[in-house]
Every structure is written in C-alpha cells, then in structure tokens.
Amino acid sequence: MPVYADYRGLPASARGTSVALGNFDGLHAGHRAVMDAARQAGGGAFTVATFEPPPRGYFRPTDPPFRIFRPERRNNAILAAGADAVFELPFNGAMASMTDEEFVRSVLVDGLAVSHISVGFDFRFGRGRMGHAQRLASLGRALGFGVTIVDEVVELDGKASSTAIRQALHAGEPETAAELLGTWWVADGVVERGEQNGRTLGFPTANLHLGELIHPKHGVYVVRARIDGQGDWLDGVANFGRTPTTGIRDPLLETHIFDFEGDLYGKWLEVQLISYLRPELKFPSLDALVEAMHADADAARKQLANL
C-alpha cells in the first residue's frame, strides 16, 4: 500500500477519499476511533493523513526524543489497520504559517480533495493552533466535505493519548504502555558495534541507539526481539542506559538474546519491552556486575516462560 510524502501532485486514484487526520503517534485507542470513523464515512475505504515531522518536533527541536513509533512503523501499523494509503503532510515553515482556512483550502481541498474528514475532539490546526474541530466542521460545510468529530476515548481511567503512553515508558511501566497501545511497545533500529564489554563478560549484546524514539526509563528489562522483521520473537533481557559500571556514555539499548549465536551487526532489530526488572546501577566490581546479569537473565527467563 502506498505512502505519499506530500499532498501535492497526487494521482487521481489517491484523491477524493475519506481521510482520518491527526498525528497518530502510537496508534492508541483514540487514533483507532478516528480511523474507524473515517472507515465508516468512506463505506469501508479510508486513508490517513498525518504530519511529518510532527509539529512538536518542528516547533521544539531541542526537546528530548518523544516519538513512540518511527515513521515507517507508524505507517505500517496504519496500513495494517486497513487504510488504503498514508499521506505524510510535510510540516515546515510554509505549513506552520497557514491560517486554519488556508490549510483546509490548500491541503485538504486542493491537495487531497477530501470527501470526508474525521478528527479527534481536541484536534487543532492552522497558525498558532487557531483552528479547532468545530471550525473544521464549519469549513467543511462551506467547502463541500463532511466532518466527523470523534469524542474523547477513555482507557485505564484516563484519556487515551500518546502523552499517557510516553509517561508510562518514562516511568518504567511497559505493561501500562502496552495496554494503551494494544500491543507491546517496540524499540527498533540498526544494530551497531559497541565496546563489546558484554561479549567479554559472557553476555553478548545487540546495541541500538534509539535516536528520535522516546527514551524509556533507564534500567534492565525483560524483552523479546525479532531480527529483520522475520521469524519468531526471541526471548532476552536488555539494559537501557549509560552503563555506569563500565564507563558512562550516551544512552544505549543493549539486548542479550538468550541462546542465540550469530552476527547481528547491521541488521534491523526490533525489541519489545515486556517488563521492568530493576534500575541501572553502578556495581563495585565487574564480578558483581556479572552476578547481577545472571540474576537478571534468570528472572527474565522465568517471566517469559509464564507469558
């Protein structure tokens, strides 16, 4: 299924659809409700329009990493949920300066030629967030397309939101994040060469810099990993942090896959965070560190055996 990197110059087959519009980072229950509304309005067919980069990333580029999904994972999840296409609306200075009406006319009408739009109740758009869902509905009536405003969706006694997922990951609560997402949260990336301390200590690890992905709480996690998007999810244990015992450095996700032999350098690795075992600690010696690593691995094996 196609992903379009603009709203301009689209083929006729991609225009005139029922569109779910929003950020869709994490694809939580609120996002799924907006997509369901677009699907219903489109008679079972719909597309999704999102912003790339997210407006938050454009306006606050020095913020800590906040993405729940990398763009490719987000797009794949949207398409797997039944969307016929994804439109990545380029959020740049030109789009940021559009008024709410200019955005609707230029992007939604002239570009996407929408037949219907669905948005969440708290959707904002246009310069300085001047537009809101009711304003979009008013513009839709004037310009000839329908608008569905989806009410707040509540999960775990709170609003279903990307913020709640981020808070859970920052708190070391991957189970809560999974409940909100409807699936395990995945950290992914290309395996890099590290200092190979894990190999020396008997625990070889696959190392990922998370980059623009949200950084979960530092510490040791029970995980499952998959290599190059293929095959089974493999049991393991991982540490995310700065390795204070062997030398502080930039945060890194170091994943030890149980009973695995092979070269993972340069491969794409997906790591599901299942549960949080303990905070990252500075041990008095390498022997104490190795003892803790064995205990972590034993605890992870027991938890994964019961899933």
Question: What is this structure's pTM?
Answer: 0.92
Do 143 and 268 fall within a single domain?
A: no
Quick: pLDDT tens for 133-154.
999 999 999 999 999 999 999 8
Do 67 and 128 fall within a single domain?
A: yes
Helix (H, G, I), strand (E, B) or coil at 171: coil
Do 99 and 220 fall within a single domain?
A: no
Map tokens 């803790």 to a residue: 292
Q: What is the pLDDT along the chain (307 residues), one digit of tens a residue?
A: 599 999 999 999 999 999 999 999 999 999 999 999 999 999 999 999 999 999 999 999 999 999 999 999 999 999 999 999 999 999 999 999 999 999 999 999 999 999 999 999 999 999 999 999 999 999 999 999 999 999 999 887 788 899 999 999 999 999 999 999 999 999 999 999 866 666 667 789 999 999 999 999 999 999 999 999 989 999 999 999 987 777 667 899 999 999 998 889 999 999 999 999 999 988 888 888 889 999 999 999 999 998 8
Number of domains forming the structure of the chain:
2
Do 195 and 269 fall within a single domain?
A: yes
| 201, part of any domain | yes
Helix (H, G, I), strand (E, B) or coil at 1: coil
CB burial string 12-26: b at 16+ within 10 A, e below:
eebeebbbbbbbbbb
H/E element, 42: none
| 265, part of any domain | yes
* Tokens, residue 24: 């869709």
Q: At what angle do helices 162-170 and 174-181 cross, to 10 degrees?
A: 160
| 166, part of any domain | no
**Dist CA 270 CA 39 (whole Å):** 30
| 165, part of any domain | no
- Would you give the end-to-end CA distance of the chain in angstroms? 33
- For residue 29, the domain's CATH number is 3.40.50.620
Structural domain range at position 44: 3-158
Quick: pLDDT tens for 176-210.
999 999 999 999 999 998 666 666 677 899 999 99
